[in-house]
Structure 1
Amino acid sequence: MFGRDIGIDLGTANVLVHIKGQGIVLDEPAVVAIDNNTKQVLAVGEEAFQMVGRTPGNIVAIRPMKDGVIADFDHTEAMLSHFLKKVNAKSMLSKPRILICCPTNITSVEQKAIIEAAEKSGGKNVFIEEEPKVAAIGAGMDIFQPSGNMVIDIGGGTTDIAVLSMGSIVTATSIKTAGDQFDIDILNYIKKEYKLLVGVRTAETVKTEVATVAPNGKEQEPKDLDIRGRDMVSGLPRTITITSVEIYDALMESVNHIVQAAKNVLERTPPELSADIIDRGVFLTGGGALLTGIDELLAEELKVPVLVAEDPMHCVANGTGIMLDNLDKMSNKKVKI
């Protein structure tokens, strides 16, 4: 078997692998569990994620990616190798060509680190593309026409906002306020208001089940959820009930950062392209697009239609799949080390 073409969405929260002709074959948390004493990797992905907050002292579950870039090179490489092995990406005779995504404003050093990690984990030729561009393609936008398209990709570590035309990014920004920050906001709110310590996984459940940032979020029928944690005063387990109205207040500051960043991108957009965006609307992709009401809030603030892409979590991975078909044309865009 000759080398395959593989697309990787190397996210802060999740890693998705798309194999040409097969679609998305892997979607697992970007977590590695290591034994602190021996420095051995014990588990990767879903198995390691189950250990988060539940391990004895000598075992730590870490995220080797931070804010869309590599924070721990060796463990990123170990994680990628594990995932590529799991999907049988490497054959005996040849190595796969890999297309990997990165945030828009990372440095060339950070880009090289991503390429090097992909090469060391078994890639032959490694191509790198900017995330919002790939997300736009995965969301079904035709970015190769001479007209303006805007995409807001809210991931785990970063939110990438870009206006695209003629297959390239016209204006873009990347901010470190995204899904992970929402979790931290919820944790801090519960800690401050209820003197209760909860884990990241509990915060994520609150975010997906009751959180809303819709403009009329406070007037809507509040949803509530029982959560458990450790009382900071007594040290004992305790259960509280949290409502969507409370979480609305906790998330507003971070959500406003995203709104402001989107406004800044629109302010720098040529007027002809702005007119196109009013017609076509803005597409929301990434896991953060699933936050209840974020599309309504952005539409109200930006004064343009805002649409959540059909499968926001998989837009980048699906986009790499479409771009793999054009890999040969991209050969000249390969970043050399």
Structure 2
Amino acid sequence: MQSADIPDVQKFYDTEYQISLTSEDADQLYDVVDGVPVYRTQYQAELIIDFVDIPKGASVLDYGAAKAKSLYRLRERRPDITPHVFDVSEDYRSYWQGWVPEEQQATYLAPAEWNGRFDLITAHFVLEHVREPVEVFSDIARLLSPSGRFFFSVPDVLGNPADMIVVDHLNHFTRTSLSVALDRAGMKIERIDTSRLRGAFVVVAVLRQGEEKVAPPGRSDIDTQIQSLNRCCESWHAAEKIVANALARHAGKKIAIYGAGVYGTFVYSRVRDIGAAACFVDRNPHVHGRDHLGVQVVPPEALPTDIDVLYVALNPAIARKAMADLVLNQRKGLELVYLS
């Protein structure tokens, strides 16, 4: 939580980050409902429609757009909107061509002629990556029309502790810090939700009007959140002990890791020097057949039969529920190791 920022953040996001650029349709798996995969970009588009009454013919900006897949999905549902995209990298321009006109694209700096233009600005998991969130909120505030809405999502570190250990997440948000940061940028929260997007805050913000004031956070609220953050940090130390104890208990046995994301990376970092994992297991078909940290990713049904121990590297809040639907959960002789 107190570690230094990654060196040269601007260069990193400009030329090295390249999220979901492995293929045109690369996406993050959000959920599986009745056996059907639900991908994050489609789900985010549905959330926008649910949370914001978008005016007909609205000018919409995806801020920190990357491939702008959620905006693309939104435009499929609302072809009347005028899409705009902005990112701090040139790497995504090829994905914008053909559906976002050149004059509605910008990189590195959103142009002054866009000031006050937008009825809706979206930012999906962007603010945790920036060094100075208040500066970014202020930039977004200048682009909003007086009646515009700012829809954004950021990780809820208390709802998803993985946020705490992601190296390029430079900020970790709570309700209080979000409210204060927006207030300093001349905005206020209109709606905030932690139930619709797992492990994240979904926020709709608007410009403050005139001399309107936002009530400062109370001392007791701040103290409660600090205590919760301390417990979050302690949970990672507890997870380290769980993995270490499991390794000692199952010395010499063949292991695999369920989850090729942040939690899986954490487990791998603890086991690689003792006995490398045979594979990662993941439900997302976009990662099947690829390597993660030099280890192959396979679907659950392809887990080798000689695996003795499977580390369930998922958010502990959902891990047991996620595994309950899998045949792996019933496989005889396979021990599952959870992180809490």
Q: Same fold (TM over 0.5)?
A: no
TM-score by length of 1: 0.29
TM-score by length of 2: 0.29
